[in-house]
Amino acid sequence: MSHIETSPQLHALQGETWPLQLDALYSCFRSKDSVLIMIDPDPDAMGSALALKRLLWRKVAAVSIGIIRKISRLNNLMMARLLRLPLVLLESPDAVKADKFVLVDGQPSHNEFFGRFQYTAVIDHHPPNKPIEAPFCDVRPDYGATSTIMTQYLRAAGVQPSQTIATALLYGIKTDTRNFERHTLVEDIDAFRYLFEYVDHNILRKVEISDLSLADTKYFHKAFTRKHVVKDRIFAYLDEVPSSDILVEVAEFLLKIHDINWSIVSGVYQDNLVICIRNDGRHKDAGRLVRRAFGAIGCAGGHEAMARAEIPLGRLREIIGDLSSTSLDRFVRRRLSPFKKY
């Protein structure tokens, strides 16, 4: 089993290390394999999966990219459409067929769908919640984006990225580092600089400005109507939402408010209570907070400045009984209160 530990020494030896890790990755596959790359389709995941598909080209018989949910966020829809990304919606775990499975920009514990499979390789930049069992495992929580890792693999393989791959990877780096305002390493900046000359900047600009639909504005209105502010934390519960992406949009917007350092937006999506957390990143750890608050009852994880939890409504019914808007709103606020001691 190949695992990578990130360290300053490794960064210094990057030129020597990455070809070795590429060989270790390739050794996990055979020419007759049918490989499925599984992702939760955000920009970093889509760019990373596209790069891995290119790396496995002519190494295996077939490679496909499967998404575990429909894309609903408008930026991501625009990215998939303009770049013509070859994405396949995985309707049910039981219907998924492949010889080998790979997970990028995620871990088996991050989602119940992910947890149904045994993976040949896992490549990610999120802090691990649980030990990951896979023949090849490259998890680098100090990196700003998985797209940075995949850019390094492409360079180690001597593969010049196509315009499509470069645009997807660069946008993945921009979104997950919030244009380098969030946790970022020099490796992220180096990958950005390398990709920049290969990018279709017209497509990138169109993707970046495609934020909201007119229908989305009602959720912003509901957030302001229902907001609760406790010290430097703002909470908003939005009831049932058409996509969990709107929770992210609202959470990031509310963080713009002066004197607000934590934005916590929740809602119900596909029989789960979804909680999205954002903060200003200064001496805070959203991932640790969400794991402590919800890790024992659902899927929870993230980074210092951004995190997410998903809790099945059936499990919540066992815990709090009533699943009214008031009860769910109060449940989130109590669990994430700045006064709560763990």
Neighbours of 169 (CB within 10 A): 31
Rounded (10°) CA dihedral 190, 195, 197, 203: -130
Distance of CA 210 to the CA centre of its chain: 19
In a domain, 199, yes or no: yes
CA atoms within 13 A of residue 112's CA, in its CB half-sphere:
11
End residue of a domain, out of 209, 234, 249: 209
Whether 138 and 30 share a structural domain: yes
Whether 191 and 218 share a structural domain: no
Residue 296 is part of a domain; what is its CATH number? 3.10.310.40
Asked whether the beta carbons of 337 and 327 are under 8 A apart, the reply is no
Whether 15 and 101 share a structural domain: yes
Mode of pairing for the β-strands spanning 136-139 and 2-3: parallel
Task: Residue count of the chain, please give it.
Answer: 342
End residue of a domain, out of 209, 224, 242: 209
- Give me the pLDDT at residue 130, please: 84
Asked whether the beta carbons of 136 and 28 are under 8 A apart, the reply is yes
In a domain, 187, yes or no: yes
- Which of 115, 176, 126, 129 minimizes the C-alpha distance to 292? 129
- Give me the pLDDT at residue 209, please: 86
Summarised one tens digit per residue, pLDDT across range 223-258 is 999 999 999 999 999 999 998 889 999 999 999 999
- Give me the pLDDT at residue 180, please: 87
In a domain, 147, yes or no: yes
How many structural domains does the chain have? 2
Whether 226 and 185 share a structural domain: no
Q: Which domain holds residue 331?
A: 214-335
Whether 91 and 173 share a structural domain: yes
Residue 7 is part of a domain; what is its CATH number? 3.90.1640.10
Whether 18 and 93 share a structural domain: yes
Whether 116 and 189 share a structural domain: yes
In a domain, 342, yes or no: no
Q: What is the DSSP string of 262-321?
A: EEEEEEEETTEEEEEEEE--SS--HHHHHHHHHTTTSEEEE-SSEEEEEEEHHHHHHHHS
Per DSSP, 33 falls in state -
Whether 62 and 168 share a structural domain: yes
In a domain, 70, yes or no: yes
Low-confidence ranges of the chain (pLDDT < 70): 1-19, 341-342
In a domain, 306, yes or no: yes
Whether 231 and 249 share a structural domain: yes
End residue of a domain, out of 193, 209, 225: 209
- Give me the pLDDT at residue 304, please: 86
Six-digit token string for 112 = 């119940």
Whether 137 and 249 share a structural domain: no
Asked whether the beta carbons of 301 and 286 are under 8 A apart, the reply is no
Beta strands in the chain (DSSP E): 2-3, 34-39, 62-67, 87-89, 100-104, 121-124, 136-139, 228-230, 233-240, 262-269, 272-279, 299-302, 306-312
Asked whether the beta carbons of 66 and 93 are under 8 A apart, the reply is no
Whether 130 and 234 share a structural domain: no
CA gap 205, 268 in Å, rounded: 32
Whether 195 and 223 share a structural domain: no
